[in-house]
Amino acid sequence: MRSRALQTSSMPILLIYGPTASGKSALGVDLARHFDGEIINTDSMQVYQGLPVITAQPNVDEKNGIPHHLYGHMDIDQSGSVARWRDEALATIKDVKKRGKMPILVGGTGLYFEALTRGLADVPPVGDKAVAQAATVLENGGMEALRTEVARIDPAAAARIQGGDQQRLLRALSVYFQTGTALSDFHKNTHPALPAGSWCAMSLKPPRDILYERITHRFTEMLQIGALDEAHFAAQRAVSQTRPAMKALGLNALVCHIKGQIGLEDATQSAVRDTRRYAKRQYTWGAGRFSHWPVIQGETSAQRFEEALRIVENSNGAWGASEEQA
């Protein structure tokens, strides 16, 4: 049932960010039921077909009859991008609002949210030659050489890109090889895709010990409901390791297990460890880039729902007013 506090004409676009396994998908569905909304995926891995379990895409029961958009619509051999997702998301938002529904964007990819609330740089297309040049740096010298080269041509990007984020480092380098201009220079002139006053954001931040327990439990469940089958599918497709889909948490470890390189226990430990490290990076992103977003810390779904309702209903229509200045 739609909340009486919000009329169709004044409904904001809801943005729900949080680390993996934080309960944001369930919260999105609860809010969609309450406000008569529809869910739009804001996770870079959940766009891929064939990996619904490994990427934790909501299943039929979890969707609970709520329309979900931009999940599993790309082949795993395709390379998604922030720009492509932004364009698809904006078109979906427009369609959802046209039907009088509330768009609710849910996910853990911070860059996707920033593409909407801060803007995306107008970077020229990068050709195969530039991509190959960047890949050669990685192949010849590994991650250390890749990061060193990015730091040389684009120090700001190197400082911004965390840890071993291979995809973003390759992107920064390939843009430079293509254009002769640092990616960070393109980023200096951006404009929000969503107008100030049109959206309301919130960030989930459950206690880390509880989140880490959920991650372990969830991966065990994934193994029971098809994660290994999905790893077989990916291995049979022989998709290049440079494709984004192959970076799905736990996928590489399970493929290594299937190939007989490691045991299932080691694969599980590797997947859980990598997922916890990724969640830690998501915490860091939320604390830094979204520090002004209201935080939800409830340990149960009911607590998270009540906190989210208070955020929406106490905002008094002041949606997204300070993002550009943040």
Domain ranges of the chain: 8-120+190-325, 128-186
Averaged pLDDT for residues 182-186: 92
Averaged pLDDT for residues 133-157: 95
**Given a cut of 60, is residue 51 above it in pLDDT?**
yes
**Given a cut of 60, is residue 56 above it in pLDDT?**
yes
From the options 3.50.50.60, 2.130.10.10, 3.40.50.300, 1.10.20.140, give the CATH code of 128-186.
1.10.20.140
Tell me the two tokens of residue 127: 């050709």
Beta strand segments in 25-146, E: 37-41, 68-69, 102-107
Q: How confident is the model at residue 4 (pLDDT cuts 50, 70, 90)?
A: very low
Distance CA 23, CA 66 (A): 16
Averaged pLDDT for residues 268-289: 96
Q: Model confidence over 215-266: pLDDT tens digits?
A: 999 999 999 999 999 999 999 998 888 899 999 999 999 999 999 999 999 9
Q: Which residue has the higher pLDDT, 39 or 243?
A: 39
- Please provide the average confidence, as pLDDT, over all residues in the chain: 92
Residue type, 221: E
Answer yes or no: pTM beyond 0.85: no
Instruction: Give backbone dihedrals phi and psi of 296, rounded to 5 degrees, phi first.
Output: -110, 125
Alpha helices in 225-319 (DSSP H): 227-237, 251-258, 264-289, 301-313
pLDDT of residue 123: 86
CATH 3.40.50.300 fits 8-120+190-325, yes or no: yes
pLDDT of residue 3: 45
Percent of the chain exceeding pLDDT 70 equals 94
Distance CA 313, CA 63 (A): 24
**Given a cut of 50, is residue 42 above it in pLDDT?**
yes
pLDDT of residue 1: 40
pLDDT of residue 76: 96
The residue length of the chain stands at 326
